[in-house]
Structure 1
Amino acid sequence: MSARRLTATAVALAGCALAGTLGSGTASAHGSMQNPLSRVEGCYLEGPEHPKSAACTAAIAAGGTQAMYDWNAVRIGTAAGRHHELIPDGKLCSAADPEFAGLDLARADWPATNLTAGADFTFRYHVTAPHRGTFQLFITKDGYDPAKPLAWSSLESAPFLTVTDPTVSNGQYVLPGKVPAGKKGRQLIYAIWQRSDSPEAFYSCSDVVFDGSGAPAGSAPTPAPGSGATHSHEPSPTASAAPVAPAAPVAQQAGALDAAPATPATPTDTTRSAGAELAQTGTGRATGLAASVGAAFLLAGAAVVVINRRRRRPAAHAR
């Protein structure tokens, strides 16, 4: 092989090593509300190819089956708490992502979970890639009409439950709290999970009823391990989309949007604190980049050594 071809090969290999890191980390997937069951996970569990409910059938007709297979990926990678700014009225359940447009259908027949107003309740969020962050749960106002597009003004102004860095048990974030009192009929719970180690945020809509006409709470099966969209880390945050600073574990019943809780919670013996196992992804990409740069230099150096040896090799004597 000529020196020129060796040099070209080294450069190409170095480029591949760099591209492998620079090109990764643009898609993420982490989870969805499990109890009460979210629209997207419920439609996935029904079976995207042959959904059972009329609402899921209509949602799949509107947006296709892939959205339901990607049940853990209703997200905005650069949210950084700017939920109202980035998500317009009528697109809250899809987080303004066209893939999930079917979730925004205004219908009064979405499968719903039974809840009891004012009762203690353990909300659970099915997670496929745990991270530090804060959960905020909002419920619709009295007089909510499910046949009209969901708007920000449809929700109570303050979350009824806020939990930061909750414990993780059996693949679910455990969010102990209390169902808002005085609620009747059909309502909707809107969940926002804002990561604190990244600007990325996740969203879900869970239909609930207070008249006993829905499914028993906690009765939905859990998606099989490995289902959902594949998780990979986000690019490092930029100055314009800085991550929210991590906070101590906490649960509180009400507060302003994106309020910072402050009271630590103690994990139980059967669950582990999220802080002990949640991924901090802010440095993962930098580490991979450093490794790839090092590999590129090693490849280039090896090529130079080969080239120099070929240049010093004595010519064969003519016979």
Structure 2
Amino acid sequence: MPARRSRKLAALAATGVAPLALTALSATPAAAHGTLGDPVSRVAACYAEGAENPTSAACKAAVAAGGSQALYDWNGIRDGEAAGKHQENIPDGKLCSANSDEFKGMDLARDDWPATKVSAGSYTFSYKVTAPHKGTFNLYLTKQGYDPSKPLAWSDLDLKHPVATKTDPVAEGGYYTFSGTLPDRTGRQLIYGIWQRSDSTEAFYSCSDVTYGDSAASAGSTAAASPSAPSDEQIAEDADKSTVDHSGMDMSGDETAGADASADPSPVAEDDNSPAAQGGSENLAETGGDSTTPYIAVGGAAALAIGAAGLFASVRRRAMTGGRRGR
């Protein structure tokens, strides 16, 4: 085979296969997978009211600030590179959006967000999940004296005493359910949820407004409607309006759901200063879901790349050998 033709074939092989390898490496779409359902989070409560025309003043303001797409993407408040470094990655005033511009409406400092009535004592928390993942939940309550009319700061949360910490919950009926204890408080408060995956650096965040009994008015807060979580029917009906990739996912959220195509196999770096560490969950255990898909994708990409390199080297050797023989 003429050397010029051999070199041409080698170049075609390298340029043709390499993009396939790169495509395989990048074929793990960002996706989102959950939020607190009880007490219902701000984004879920607003979405349940209707993404285009919510009924409460706070949710209308949130849509005016950030648009309705955030509500269709209700399970998308996340940081793909969290790795336990929640305070480092998310600045004060942007906790409810996880520093995401799409969800900036959730950060509005207001005292009229739809709020769930609670009281001190045991509480069963429910986390709406559309794709199970391995990881640990930590829920934190604001300190007494919290002012909802000011931007939420990390210092507003009692990070040393999480109201609930759960590893290995099992998703049933579309929810992770686990118990915790709410301490004494009065007036309007907020529960901040962090779900840090152990099979990835990714973490999910949620803000749930609550009021202790009927004391919100006496604490100077504006009365707000009781929120509700979106129904499965509503979620299914609006699925095509969401930017979340639900392919292969069981919307029931049961532990038997399909593997998550967006799982990231990189390990979680521990951070002693993170809220998760402060909550005593130093070892993030594996709790459902399957992260084999990215390994297959990366392995396939690597095989393609190696194959391309091998083909290039083989053709080049033949070309050089043929050239020497021709002399």
Structure 2 length-normalised TM: 0.73
Alignment of 1:129-140 (within 5 A): 129-140=131-142
The 1-side partners of 2:22 and 2:8 are apart by: 21
Q: In 2 relative to 1, CA 26–234 (structure 1 residues): closer, same or farther, beyond 3 Å?
A: farther
C-alpha contact (below 8 Å) 2:126/2:176 kept by paired residues: yes
Residue of structure 2 equivalent to 1:285: 294
The gaps in structure 2 that reach 5 residues or longer are 215-222, 247-260, 319-327
How much is the aligned-residue C-alpha RMSD, in angstroms? 3.2
- Say whether 1:34 aligns with 2:37: yes
Match of 1:233 in 2: 262
SS of alignment partner, residue 145 of structure 1: coil
TM-aligned CA deviation for residue 288 of structure 1: 1.1
Residue 192 of structure 1, CA deviation: 0.5
Q: Which residue of 1 aligns with 2:84?
A: 81
Alignment of 1:45-124 (within 5 A): 45-118=48-121, 120-124=122-126
**1:302-313 → structure 2 map (5 Å cutoff):** none
Other-structure match for 1:242: 269
Task: Call closer, same or farther: CA 1:92–1:4 in 2, change over 3 Å.
Answer: same
Q: 2 CA distance for matches of 1:66 and 1:38? A: 16
In 2, Cα distance between equivalents of 1:86 and 1:41 = 23
Pair 1:151–1:95, CA change in 2 (3 A):
same
How many angstroms does 1:24 deviate by? Answer: 2.4
SS at match of 2:278: coil
Query: Is residue 257 from structure 1 mapped to residue 278 from structure 2 by the alignment?
Result: yes
The partner residue of 1:221 within 221, 225, 231 is 231
> Would the aligned equivalents of 2:31 and 2:262 in 1 still touch at CA under 8 Å?
yes
Which AA in structure 1 matches 2:155?
S
DSSP 3-state at the match of 1:88: coil
1:230 partner amino acid: D
8 A contact 1:60–1:102 mirrored in 2: yes
> C-alpha separation between the residues in 2 aligned to 1:78 and 1:294?
27
Deviations 1:196-230 (A, max 9, x none): 11111111000111224666687763452446622
The secondary structure found in structure 2 opposite 1:182 is coil
226-235 or 30-39, which moves further after superposition? 226-235
- Structure 1 residue ranges without an equivalent (≥5): 245-254, 265-273, 309-319
* Pair 1:7–1:45, CA change in 2 (3 A): farther
Cα distance, 1:296 vs. partner?
6.5
